[in-house]
Amino acid sequence: MKKVGIIGCGAIGTLISNAIEKGIIKCDELILYDRNVERAEKIRGSLHVPVTVVKSLEEMLRLKPTVIVEAASQQAVKEYIDRILTENIELIVMSVGALLDSNVKSEKVHIPSGAIGGLDAISSAMTAGVNEVVLTTRKNPKALDMNNREEKTVFEGSAREAVRRFPREMNVAATLALTTKPEKVKVRVISDPKVERNVHEIRVKWKHGDMQFKFANEPHPENPRT
């Protein structure tokens, strides 16, 4: 029996739960955990698949999920990752920024590509040698809790600094840093009232040339950061 546990019942946790409901993700039972139990109960009330709401990580672990998806926060990753891995459970980490300062190395930890693609090509380029990765992210001010009326560069620096400055908005930077090396990645964040989508432009300079990628994603209607 395949059981999927989800930690965090916000926008991402809800999207994953709905994918299970639609059969896009196959599982026999869904286990939900959120410190705000009402959010977990709200999801359960909207689904027809078997759902168990738990009140602690330990309660979730006792139900022996096949895989756990962290969709809560960097702090949740730091608090729970070691305990989950001691149970030999597969863990998908959405709050990737938490892994930049972690010493955890396990084949049980999986990092989704999230809002970007091209990671396979970038990873392959690393074998030959990557000189620099530059990520430019443009977001509407609402997604950054700002209200500027003109385009404004709000951050320039390393991937580590970007993740610390924007812990919920810059998982893309963390994913690139973990695919290459943190010191290779430079990040620029622009608050731009002209854009309605979250735009990520990636330029990679490597030994045998350049690569460029651009992704423009619709923000989640209930959480523009996502």
Q: Which residues are catalytic?
A: 200
Q: Is the separation of the CB atoms in 225 and 168 below 8 Å?
A: yes
CB count within 10 Å of CB 29 equals 17
Exposure letters 157-173 (e unless 16+ CB within 10 A, then b): ebbbebbeebbebbbbb
DSSP letters spanning 113-145: -TT---HHHHHHHHHH-EEEEEEEEEE-GGGGT
Return the percent helix, strand and coil in the chain, to nearest 5: 35, 30, 35
Q: Is the separation of the CB atoms in 144 and 166 below 8 Å?
A: yes
DSSP 65: -
Residue 155 tokens read as 């951050």
Bridge partners of residue 5, in order along the sequence:
31, 68
Bridge partners of residue 213, in order along the sequence:
202
